[in-house]
Amino acid sequence: MCYNSYMKTLYQYIADAQKNKTAIGHFNVSNIEGLWGIFHAAQSLNVPVIIGVAEGERDFLGVRQAVALVKSLREEFDYPIFINADHTHSFDRVKEVVDAGFDAVIFDGADLSFEENLKITKQCVDYAKKINPDILVEGELGFIGTSSKVLDDIPEGVELDEKSLTNPEKAEEFVKKTGVDLLAPAVGNFHGMLRGGVDPKLNIERIKKISEATKVPLVLHGGSGNSEDDFKQAIANGVSIVHINTEIRVAYKKGLMLGLSENPDEVAPYKFLKPAVKAVQEVVDKKLRFFNNL
């Protein structure tokens, strides 16, 4: 059993967020410095938080090690911190994280045909629930780009016009047939953020329609670069989890460069990495206050 028996499940925290019109922050890490930065921020505000590791991030950190680190915080501090296998592109890699004890997993079939995406997502749901009935499985419908970085332009293949966004009827069919707990739609969002500016506006009307049609909590990916007003409206209309990655990557790198340049003779990593932890913490603190109406 991974939870203390009296701690709510991740699903219950999401249900609370839905009811309160708040959102749970989901932040990606590649290492333990990032994890501490996020945990310190969440803990000081006393709000639940989700740690994300996509395939590249968890290959670097270690799949089982990532789970062990997050669960060690949950147990030691009796704290609602959860781990999600972000963007997972095959059934085999979904199986790997389910077996390793993740709290949630995303099968990302957004670049497959609707039928193929539906088929593999269903296979993932069936396997995951058999191994761990509490695990949450998220599906993706609609293409939102792939890389969390600073962009000069909207990523290739991402279309922001009405007919390229996730269709509410298709979303309803997808959720019904796959049995996913959560859905990540394309609603004007994309991974990464535009250099020097704010990302284009989200389509709030579409979020509302998808939420009403699917009746599952929606997950907003690519939250870096979106405005506070957009988040507020998205959360009020069905988004219960918001993913932030690029902004904390940028903060981490800036903090690291500062740590190195301020003390060029320092060789102790725990000293020159401190500004990186602090930089991540500051960004996460700001986002969490906003997502939780604090």
The residues annotated as belonging to the active site are 86
Cβ partners under 8 Å of residue 260, min gap 6? 266, 272
What phi, psi does 196 have (nearest 5°)? 65, 15
CB of residue 221 to Zn ion, shortest distance in Å: 3
Taking the least distance from each CB to Zn ion, the nearer of 182 and 277 is 182
Taking the least distance from each CB to Zn ion, the nearer of 158 and 277 is 158
Q: In whole angstroms, what is the distance from residue 24 CA to residue 155 CA?
A: 26
CB of residue 132 to Zn ion, shortest distance in Å: 22
Give, as ranges, the residues between 212 and 241 that touch Zn ion (CB under 5 A).
Answer: 221
CB of residue 226 to Zn ion, shortest distance in Å: 13
The helix (run of H) or strand (run of E) holding residue 241 is strand 239-244
Number of residues that bind Zn ion (CB under 5 A): 1
What phi, psi does 170 have (nearest 5°)? -65, -40
Taking the least distance from each CB to Zn ion, the nearer of 18 and 224 is 224
Three-state DSSP class for residue 266? coil
In total, the chain counts a number of residues equal to: 294
User: How many C-beta neighbours within 10 Å does residue 131 have?
Assistant: 11
Taking the least distance from each CB to Zn ion, the nearer of 241 and 277 is 241
Read off the amino acid at residue 245.
N
Give, as ranges, the residues between 108 and 137 that touch Zn ion (CB under 5 A).
Answer: none
CB of residue 182 to Zn ion, shortest distance in Å: 12
Q: Tell me if 206 contacts Zn ion by CB under 5 A.
A: no
| Contact set with Zn ion (CB under 5 A) | 221
